[in-house]
C-alpha cells in the first residue's frame, strides 16, 4: 500500500475503504487497518474517523519545507559518508549510475526510480548516521522524492548531478560532495514543484 501511494497509483485525496483495500491487496481487514495506522504515523494518510482514511495531499509550502530539510540533512550525510567509502562502494555507486544512464536512454523511469533509491541508500548507509537517516527516510515518505511521473523529464539532468557527486567522492572531497548533493536535492525539489504547477496529481 505504501508503494502504491508513493508511486501515485493511489492518488492524493483518495478516500481509502478498508474492505476495498483488503480485496485489492488480497488480505483481511486487520493487516489493512494496521498498515493504515502506520501510514498515518508517517503522514501519508489522514484519518477521517470511524475507520475511514484519505491519502494525504501536499501543497507547495509542504514541498518547499521538506526539500529544504532534505538539502540540509542529505548534504550532511554525504559529507559524513565520504571518508568511509572504499573502492568497493564507489564502484557500486558508479555501476548504479551507469545503470541509471541506461534507464534514462531507454526512457524507463520506473527502473530509474528504483536505481536512484539504491544509489542514495548506499551513500547514507556508509554515513553511519542512523538517527539522521531515519529522519531522511521519513521525509522521503512525506512527499515522494521521486516517482516515474515526476522524474521522466529530468532523468538526464539527475544523472549529471549524480556524476558530480560521484566525482567529488572519488576525489575524497567531502565539501564538494555535500554541495553537489544539496544542488541535486534542490533541483529535484524544483522539478517536483514544476510538476505541481503543471497540474500533477496528489498535491494541492
- Tens digits of residue pLDDT in 112-121: 989 999 999 9
Res 83: pLDDT:
98
Best-predicted range by mean pLDDT among 33-47, 82-96, 139-153? 82-96
Q: Report CA 128 to chain centroid distance, whole Å.
A: 19
Res 103: pLDDT:
96
Average pLDDT of the chain? 88
Res 63: pLDDT:
84
Write out the chain in H/E/C secondary structure. Answer: CHHHHHHCCCCCCCEECHHHHHHHHCCCHHHHHHHHHHHHHCCCEEEEECCEEEECCECHHHHHHHHHHHHHHHHHHHHHHHHHCCHHHHHHHHHHHHHHHHHHHHCCHHHHHHHHHHHHHHHHHHHCCHHHHHHHHHHHHHCCCCCHHHHCCCHHHHHHHHHHHHHHHHCCCHHHHHHHHHHHHHHHHHHHHHHHHCCCCCEC
pLDDT-derived band of residue 59, with 50, 70 and 90 as boundaries?
A: confident
Predicted confidence (pLDDT) at residue 202 exceeds the cutoff of 70: no
Q: Report CA 63 to chain centroid distance, whole Å.
A: 12
* The listed CATH number (3.40.640.10, 1.20.120.530, 1.10.760.10, 3.40.50.1820) that belongs to domain 60-197: 1.20.120.530
pLDDT above 70: percentage of residues in the chain: 89
Rounded CA gap, 181 and 70, in Å?
10
Pick the residue with more confidence: 161 or 11?
Answer: 161
Pick the residue with more confidence: 144 or 58?
Answer: 58
Specify the CATH number of the domain 2-55.
1.10.10.10
Res 201: pLDDT:
46
Q: The C-alpha cell of 46 is what?
A: 489522514
Q: What is the pLDDT of residues 141-179, one digit of tens each?
A: 766 555 666 677 889 999 999 999 999 999 999 999 999
Map out the domains of the chain as residue ranges: 2-55, 60-197
Lowest mean pLDDT among 30-34, 95-99, 180-184: 30-34
Pick the residue with more confidence: 188 or 75?
Answer: 75
Res 72: pLDDT:
98
Amino acid at each position: 500500500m505504501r508503494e502504491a501511494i508513493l508511486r501515485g497509483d493511489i492518488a492524493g485525496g483518495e478516500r481509502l475503504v478498508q474492505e476495498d483495500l483488503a480485496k485489492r491487496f488480497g488480505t483481511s481487514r486487520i493487516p489493512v487497518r494496521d498498515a493504515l495506522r502506520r501510514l498515518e504515523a508517517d503522514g501519508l494518510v489522514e484519518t477521517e474517523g470511524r475507520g475511514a482514511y484519505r491519502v494525504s495531499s501536499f501543497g507547495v509550502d509542504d514541498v518547499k519545507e521538506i526539500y529544504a530539510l532534505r538539502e540540509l540533512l542529505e548534504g550532511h550525510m554525504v559529507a559524513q559518508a565520504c571518508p568511509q567509502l572504499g573502492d568497493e562502494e564507489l564502484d557500486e555507486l558508479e555501476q548504479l549510475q551507469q545503470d541509471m544512464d541506461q534507464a534514462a536512454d531507454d526512457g524507463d523511469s520506473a527502473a530509474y526510480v528504483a536505481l536512484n533509491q539504491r544509489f542514495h541508500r548506499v551513500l547514507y548507509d556508509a554515513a553511519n548516521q542512523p538517527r539522521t537517516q531515519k529522519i531522511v527516510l521519513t521525509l522521503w515518505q512525506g512527499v515522494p522524492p521521486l516517482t516515474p511521473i515526476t522524474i521522466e523529464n529530468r532523468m538526464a539532468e539527475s544523472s549529471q548531478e549524480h556524476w558530480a557527486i560521484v566525482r567529488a567522492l572519488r576525489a575524497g572531497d567531502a565539501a564538494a560532495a555535500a554541495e553537489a548533493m544539496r544542488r541535486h536535492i534542490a533541483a529535484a525539489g524544483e522539478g517536483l514543484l514544476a510538476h505541481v504547477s503543471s497540474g500533477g496529481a496528489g498535491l494541492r
